[in-house]
Structure 1
Amino acid sequence: MVPLNFIEPGRRVRLIRVWGRGISERLAEMGLHPGSDLRVVRNSFSGPLVVEVKGVQVALGGGVSSRIYVEVIGE
């Protein structure tokens, strides 16, 4: 497992765990929950990170993306 904010753009990942109850609930409302497959669209390693889940792009702040743990599943 690695924090989402360490993943390069273009990589596909599976969400494994979210640290923080409030964050977990908010992300689930956006379709981001354990088992979700994501594609990192943009990550400049500072500022917002953009992921795509089920065809929808979602921007996440650095603090939030550092609490999302994923495993890489493809390019």
Structure 2
Amino acid sequence: MKKYMIVENFKPDCSSKVYQRHIDKGRMLPDGLYYLHSWLNEDKNVCFQLMETNDEELIAIWTDKWKDLIDFEVYPII
């Protein structure tokens, strides 16, 4: 499987909404997209997530569920 570093930049004043949605609904990952690990910056408004999948389209499906609160950067890891 291919690994991806997903950089989540929380939109202004949306951090608490991001955390609440995560509590209420979880990560909302589609089948076939796997969460491996994550790290937050000190301000807790940027999250770095290591993900894994064989189907890159699943990343777009997942990020679409969060795009109202988060701007995403997706980097394939080699």
Name the TM-score, length of structure 1 as normaliser: 0.36
Q: Which has the higher contact order (CA 8 A, sep 6+)?
A: 2
Name the TM-score, length of structure 2 as normaliser: 0.35
Structure showing greater Rg: 2
